[in-house]
Amino acid sequence: MKIKRFRSLTFKLTVWYIVILGAIVILAGLFLHQGFKEGLMNDLDKALVEIADEAHEKWWRTREVTWEEAIEKAEERYASYEPYIQMVEISEGETRRVKNVIRSERIPEGVFLLDTQTYFRADRTDIDSYIFRTVEEDQLSSYPLRVFLFPVRGPRILQVGVSLEATAAAMNKLMLVMILTGSIIMLLASVGGSFIINRALHPVKSVVKTAEDITAEDLSLRIDSKNRKDEIGALVETFNSMIARLEKSINKIRQFSGDVSHELRTPLTIIRGEIEVLLRKDRPKKEYVTTLNSVLEESHRMEKLIDGLLFLSRVEAMDRSKSRETVDLDEVLNAVIKFRSPSASNKNISIDAKIKPVQFRGNRELLERMTANILDNAIRYSNPGNHIEIELEKDKNMAKLQIHDSGIGIPEKSLPLIFDRFYVVDPSRSKETGGAGLGLSIVKWIAEYHNAEIAVDSKVDHGTNFTVTFPLD
C-alpha cells in the first residue's frame, strides 16, 4: 500500500517535471520563432528599399534611361527576389486618383494597387518613415506580398513588392526543426528526469520497506544510510535514531515488567510456602501467630511495592506543564517531619531541623513524596539513639536541602546503584524494614522532574547524607 503511494509520487513528480519543461520549451520556441520572423522581415524590407533605390538611381543618375528600363534593370539585378515593380501616378484633381502607369510585365493593369489614401500618404513621407505594407494579391501570388512605397518625382510612387513565399517557407522549415528538436529535448529530458527522480526516491523506498518490516518484536532493524550526507541521509538517520529510542524504551518496559513480576512473585511464594507448611498438621497457637506476622510483613512489602508502582505510572502520565505551582518548600518539609516524628521517637532517633523559608515552582505532592522517602530511609536505616539533621538553605539562585543521618551507611560499591528500580543493598535487611527498592528511584524521578540535582555521600557505620539542589530561576 505504502509502496504504491510512493510510486504515484514518482509519477506525479515526473508529470510535473514534463509539464514545466514543456512550457519552457514552448515558450523558448515562441520567442525564437518571433525573433526569426522579425529578422526575416527586416531583411526583406531592407531588400525592398535596395530594389527601389536601384531603380530610382538608374533613372535619376543617367536620365537617359526611361522608367520602364530602370524597372527592368532592377528586376534583372534582383531576380532572385522575383520583385513586382511598378510606378503609380497620383493625380489630385476634384477626385484623387491613382493609376499604375509604368509596370513590369508581370503585373496586369489595374492590379496590385493599394488604397488611394496610402499612396497620398506615401507621397508626403520622408526618408525616416517609409511605408511598408503586407497585402494579399491573388492575381500575383497565392502568398501575401510585402510592399514598399517610395515617393519619386511626378508626383509618383515607386511601388516594389516581393512575395512572402520564401519567408513562409523559411518559417515552416524553422517550425519543423523546432518541433523536431523540441520533441527530442522533451523525450530525452523526460526519460532522464524520471530516471533521476526514481533514483532520488529509491532510498525512500527502502525506508518504507524497512519500516514495514519493523515490528514491536523486532526493533533491531536499521536502514543503511550508505553514509549519505544529503536530506535522504538525514531522514534515514532520524528514522534510525527514532527506532533506537523506541527499542530502548520497549526494552526498558520489558525489563520493568519482568522485574515487577519477579518482585511480586517472591513475597507470594514466601506466603504460600509458609501457609502450606503451617497447614500440614495442627500446631500450637504461637506458631500460627509467628507465621501470620510473617505473612503480614510480606503483604506490607507487596502493598508498598504496588503503591510505588501505581505512583510511578500515575506521575509518568501527568501533564507536566499544568501540575506546577509556587510551593513553600519549608512548609512541605516541616509537615513531612511532623508526620514522621512519632516513628523516629519510637526508635529513639532525634531529628534536628534548620529550615529557612524557600519558595519553589513545583508540584507539592511530588515534593512531599521525595522528602518523605529520603527521611523514611534515614529513619529506617538508623539505629536507636542515632541522630538525623535536616537543613534547608537558600543561595542566590538555588535552594539546598540536606538530610543527614548517622545510621548504618551504604557500602561504596552500592552507591551508584541505589537509585535504580528494585535495587536493595541487603535484601534481608530490606525485608526487615519493608523496603521494595523503589523509594530512591521515585526520589530520583521527582528530582529530575523538577530539574533538581541529587547527590549522596555515605560511609558504612557512620551515616549517609542526601543533598538535593533546586534551581530557583
Task: Determine the interface stretch with ligand ADP among 75-83, 317-325, 341-349, 406-414 (rule: CB under 6 A).
Answer: 406-414
> Which of 193, 203, 267, 437 forms a contact with ligand ADP (CB under 6 A)?
437
Cell of 86: 511598378
- Asked whether position 381 contacts ligand ADP by CB under 6 A, the answer is yes
Q: How far apart are CA 238 and CA 314, in angstroms?
A: 30
Looking at the Cβ atoms of 156 and 369, the one nearer to ligand ADP is 369
Quote the DSSP letter at residue 155: T
Q: What are the φ and ψ backbone dihedral angles of 352, each rounded to 5 degrees?
A: -120, 120
> Which of 157, 332, 337, 425 forms a contact with ligand ADP (CB under 6 A)?
425
Q: Is residue 262 within a helix (H) or strand (E), and if so which, with residue range?
A: helix 231-279
- Counting Cβ atoms within 10 Å, is residue 200 exposed (0-12), middle (13-18) or buried (19+)? middle
Q: How far apart are CA 441 and CA 432, in angstroms?
A: 20
Taking a C-beta distance cutoff of 8 angstroms, is the pair 388, 405 a contact?
yes
Residue 36: half-sphere exposure toward Cβ, Cα within 13 Å: 17
Q: Give min distance, CB of 441 to ligand ADP, in A.
A: 6
Q: Give min distance, CB of 299 to ligand ADP, in A.
A: 16
Looking at the Cβ atoms of 341 and 430, the one nearer to ligand ADP is 430
Looking at the Cβ atoms of 357 and 427, the one nearer to ligand ADP is 427
> Which of 107, 405, 446, 450 forms a contact with ligand ADP (CB under 6 A)?
405
Looking at the Cβ atoms of 167 and 441, the one nearer to ligand ADP is 441
Q: How far apart are CA 459 and CA 407, in angstroms?
A: 9
Question: What is the number of the residue whose Cβ is closest to ligand ADP?
Answer: 435
Q: Give min distance, CB of 379 to ligand ADP, in A.
A: 9
> What is the bridge-based pairing of β-strands 350-355 and 387-394?
parallel
Q: Give min distance, CB of 435 to ligand ADP, in A.
A: 2
Site string for ligand ADP, 454-473 (x = CB under 6 A): ----------x---------
- Asked whether position 378 contacts ligand ADP by CB under 6 A, the answer is yes
Q: Give min distance, CB of 374 to ligand ADP, in A.
A: 7
Looking at the Cβ atoms of 75 and 405, the one nearer to ligand ADP is 405
DSSP 3-state assignment of 126?
coil
Q: Tell me how many residues contact ligand ADP (CB under 6 A).
A: 21
Site string for ligand ADP, 338-377 (x = CB under 6 A): ---------------------------------------x
Task: Determine the interface stretch with ligand ADP among 121-129, 215-223, 243-251, 432-440 (rule: CB under 6 A).
Answer: 432-440
- Name beta bridge partners: 58: none
> Which of 120, 423, 467, 472 forms a contact with ligand ADP (CB under 6 A)?
423
- Asked whether position 410 contacts ligand ADP by CB under 6 A, the answer is yes
Quote the DSSP letter at residue 418: T
> Which of 147, 207, 436, 447 forms a contact with ligand ADP (CB under 6 A)?
436
Q: How far apart are CA 433 and CA 427, in angstroms?
A: 10
Q: Give min distance, CB of 381 to ligand ADP, in A.
A: 3
> What is the bridge-based pairing of β-strands 156-163 and 131-135?
unpaired
Q: Is residue 152 within a helix (H) or strand (E), and if so which, with residue range?
A: strand 145-152
- Asked whether position 232 contacts ligand ADP by CB under 6 A, the answer is no
Count of other CB atoms within 10 angstroms of residue 134: 11
Smallest CA-to-CA distance from 370 within 266, 419, 440, 430 is with 440
Q: How far apart are CA 444 and CA 455, in angstroms?
A: 10
DSSP 3-state assignment of 228?
coil
DSSP 3-state assignment of 132?
strand
What is the contact surface with ligand ADP in residues (CB under 6 A)? 377-378, 381, 405, 407-410, 418, 423-425, 430, 435-441, 464
